[in-house]
Chains A and B, each alone.
Chain A
Amino acid sequence: AQSVTQLDSQVPVFEEAPVELRCNYSSSVSVYLFWYVQYPNQGLQLLLKYLSGSTLVKGINGFEAEFNKSQTSFHLRKPSVHISDTAEYFCAVSSILNDYKLSFGAGTTVTVRA
């Protein structure tokens, strides 16, 4: 089985400050990892993904994430946030164990204040 844990349910942050959203996963096989963002009353938008290769992955809107196999983590970072980054963020994992269906974490609510 595979699972995802997002360690922070809510992250308040000031505008232009850095932010890190933590994600840990468990799986007995190799995984693909994803971060999605959801704005209110909308679907999910893919921020970035790790499939293989370089462990540092750059995504849209200035976000990046680092895959750490030994720590089974895939934390999301942004060096300077904007008000428009206020949203819900979901970490997700897939593998052959689940026919590459996505397993989502519980989500992290990021609130950016001026």
Chain B
Amino acid sequence: GAVVSQHPSRVICKSGTSVKIECRSLDFQATTMFWYRQFPKQSLMLMATSNEGSKATYEQGVEKDKFLINHASLTLSTLTVTSAHPEDSSFYICSVRLLAFYEQYFGPGTRLTVT
């Protein structure tokens, strides 16, 4: 399967600041990446689909101006949480989809804490 990395693994920021999370596909070129959010003891919630070279597609209820996604290359997608608030504290996970098999491979996740 694909190897996916995320950076940073853990970040603490102050309320009102912006935080960027990187997702890299290390051994596959990914035209499609996904960003998920996971609250404690809950399942994954899809936030958006990141498409290389085009605008991201956001799920209903996700603020696109707050969660900025950039997929500038076939191996890198970034999620920027703008003007972060404590309620944005969560575990953010990205994934890469291998189109030939329709399966997704996930990164290790980023724990964001907003103080």
Contact = CB atoms under 8 A, between A and B. Distances in A.
Contacts of B93: 43-44
A100 B44 contact: no
B101 A51 contact: yes
Interface SS of chain B: helix, strand, loop or mixed? strand
Interface residues of A, number: 21
Contacts of B106: 36, 43-45
Contacts of B105: 46
Interface string B4-28: 1010000000000000000000000
Contacts, number: 49
15 contacts: A32-B103, A43-B4, A43-B95, A43-B107, A46-B103, A46-B105, A49-B101, A51-B101, A94-B102, A100-B102, A101-B34, A101-B46, A102-B46, A104-B44, A106-B43
Interface of A: 32, 34, 36, 41-46, 49, 51, 90, 94, 99-102, 104-107
